[in-house]
């Protein structure tokens, strides 16, 4: 097996942030005396990413996802721990390293605002030493994949959010990076634009075998693109593995969907510890502890006129929501 592209060991980052109380008096006091507190944004995170892998980095707001990505892209110095990306220590920010990575952020723009995207691409091509013929070829390929021919000559400030995001992706990929950090690339986009960008990223990863770490609050992004997810919460790694395994590992319950031959049935006959999620016209969804699921399935088949029955893991959104709200036991 080839060496991992990204190796992270016990990576931590603590920010020192100013504290301010509300009110004018407190603000005036703050002019002369500041108090600070330490915020542990990332706490001892460890993982590897193999070449060509697409990994979803998920967690609630403030979990430490973006901070981790920024350390891996060399923007932030860690407080402790190590990281090695493509054989480089990211925060040394060596040109040979920076030429091989890219970071695209949904909430920040690298485009020059008052001139057409093509001009930004030209400047970036020069910065990254991309020969002009190759830059042109790459832009043509990406523009075709993203279906954005008509945007190239409009000033960036006149583009919609989705159109601008397409330009950000071209700008980020112009130098053909081997490792791509995507921080909320579909933020604020409508559903069809989200879908188009997802298809583009999947196709690009397939064609170029680029290693990708993606953070997104839209689980649909992660489900569509990332076979593997890393869940981070309060700066700590809670789960690292297949997306499907996340539900098994973190959700202590299963959903049993039953279609009855007759709509009427008696809920009183259910064993204790079973929740009815919904019941309508003979279609019943029950939530039960993972260990209880086989016994309940047998009980339902024996006592009810079952036409169809399925045992499922809960939807990934529900699992994530539960983790975000309650943490992991």
Partner 1 sequence: MYHLRLVGQFARASVQNELAYRANFWISLLHSSLGLITGVLGLVVVFGQVETIRGWDLPSTLALLGVYQILAALRGLFIGPSLEALAGMDGEIWTGNFDFTLLRPVDAQFLASVRHWRPFALIDLVLGLGVLVAAVYQLATALSPLRLVAFLLTSLAAVTILYALQLAFSALTLWNPGFLFTWVLDGLFNMARYPVGLYPGWLRIVLTWLVPVGIMTTVPAQALTGTLPPGTLAGSLGAALVLLLAASALFRFGLRRYASASS
Smallest distance, partner 1 to C-beta of residue 15, A: 4
Closest CA to 205 of 4, 97, 51: 51
For residues 151-190, which are near partner 1 according to CB under 8 A? Answer: 155
Q: Which is nearer to partner 1, 139 or 260 (CB)?
A: 139
3-class SS of residue 155: coil
CB of 21 or CB of 275, closer to partner 1: 21
Q: What is the DSSP letter of 44?
A: E
Q: Segment contacting partner 1 (CB under 8 A): 89-97, 240-248, 272-280, 288-296? A: 89-97
Q: Which stretch binds partner 1 (CB under 8 A): 69-77, 132-140, 187-195, 289-297?
A: 69-77
Give dist(CA 59, CA 71) in Å, integer.
Answer: 17
**3-class secondary structure, 212:** strand
Half-sphere exposure of 262 toward its Cβ, with a 13 Å CA cutoff?
6
Does 41 interact with partner 1 (rule: CB under 8 A)? yes
Q: Which stretch binds partner 1 (CB under 8 A): 126-134, 187-195, 213-221, 255-263?
A: 126-134
Nearer to partner 1, 122 or 228 (CB): 122
Of 105 and 274, which CB lies nearer to partner 1 in the complex structure? 105
Residue of 20, 129, 137, 261 that binds partner 1 (CB under 8 A): 129
Options 128, 218, 265, 324; binder of partner 1; rule CB under 8 A: 128
Interface with partner 1, residue 17, by CB under 8 A: yes
Give the residue, chosen from 47, 57, 66, 260, that forms a contact with partner 1 under the rule CB under 8 A. 66
The correct pick among 49, 98, 139, 159 for binding partner 1 (CB under 8 A) is: 98
Site for partner 1 in 104-123 (CB under 8 A): 105, 108-110, 112-115, 119-120, 122-123
State the alpha helices, DSSP H only, in the chain.
24-32, 65-72, 95-98, 117-127, 132-146, 161-173, 191-208, 219-225, 243-250, 293-303, 316-326
Q: Give the contacts of 209 (CB within 8 A, at least 6 positions apart).
A: 51, 52
Sheet holding 275-280, edge to edge: 275-280, 283-289, 253-260, 306-312
The Cα 265–Cα 103 span in angstroms is 56
CB of 116 closer than 8 Å to CB of 103:
no
Binding-site member from 5, 55, 59, 70 for partner 1 (CB under 8 A):
70
The answer to whether 43 contacts partner 1 (rule: CB under 8 A) is: no
Alpha helices in 147-190 (DSSP H): 161-173
Residues lying near partner 1 in the complex (CB under 8 A) are found at 15, 17, 39, 41, 62, 66-67, 70, 73-77, 93, 95-99, 101-103, 105, 108-110, 112-115, 119-120, 122-123, 126-129, 155
């Amino acid at each position: 097996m080839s060496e991992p592209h990204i190796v992270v060991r016990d990576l931590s980052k603590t920010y020192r942030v100013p504290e301010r109380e509300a009110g004018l008096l407190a603000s005036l006091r703050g002019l002369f005396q500041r108090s600070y507190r330490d915020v542990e944004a990332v706490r001892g995170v460890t993982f590897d990413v193999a070449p060509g892998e697409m990994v979803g980095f998920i967690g609630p707001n403030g979990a430490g996802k973006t901070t981790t990505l920024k350390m891996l892209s060399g923007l932030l110095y860690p407080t402790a721990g190590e990281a090695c990306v493509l054989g480089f220590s990211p925060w040394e920010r060596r040109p040979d390293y920076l030429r091989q990575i890219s970071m695209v952020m949904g909430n920040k723009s690298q485009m020059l605002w008052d001139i057409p995207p093509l001009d930004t691409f030209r400047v970036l091509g020069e910065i990254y030493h991309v020969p002009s013929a190759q830059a042109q070829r790459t832009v043509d390929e990406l523009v075709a994949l993203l279906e954005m021919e008509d945007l190239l000559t409009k000033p960036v400030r006149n583009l919609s959010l989705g159109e601008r995001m397409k330009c950000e992706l071209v700008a980020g990929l112009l130098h053909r990076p081997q490792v791509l950090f995507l921080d909320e690339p579909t933020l604020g986009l409508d559903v069809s634009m989200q879908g188009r960008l997802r298809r583009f990223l999947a196709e690009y990863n397939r064609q170029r075998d680029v290693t990708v770490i993606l953070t997104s609050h839209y689980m649909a992004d992660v489900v569509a693109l990332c076979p593997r997810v890393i869940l981070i919460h309060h700066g700590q790694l809670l789960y690292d593995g297949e997306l499907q395994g996340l539900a098994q590992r973190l959700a202590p319950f299963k959903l049993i969907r039953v279609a009855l031959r007759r709509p009427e049935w008696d809920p009183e006959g259910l064993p204790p510890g079973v929740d009815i999620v919904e019941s309508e016209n003979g279609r019943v969804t029950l939530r039960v502890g993972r260990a209880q699921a086989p016994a309940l399935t047998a009980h339902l088949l024996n006592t009810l006129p079952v036409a169809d029955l399925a045992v499922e893991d809960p939807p990934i959104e529900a699992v994530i929501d539960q983790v975000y709200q309650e943490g992991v036991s």
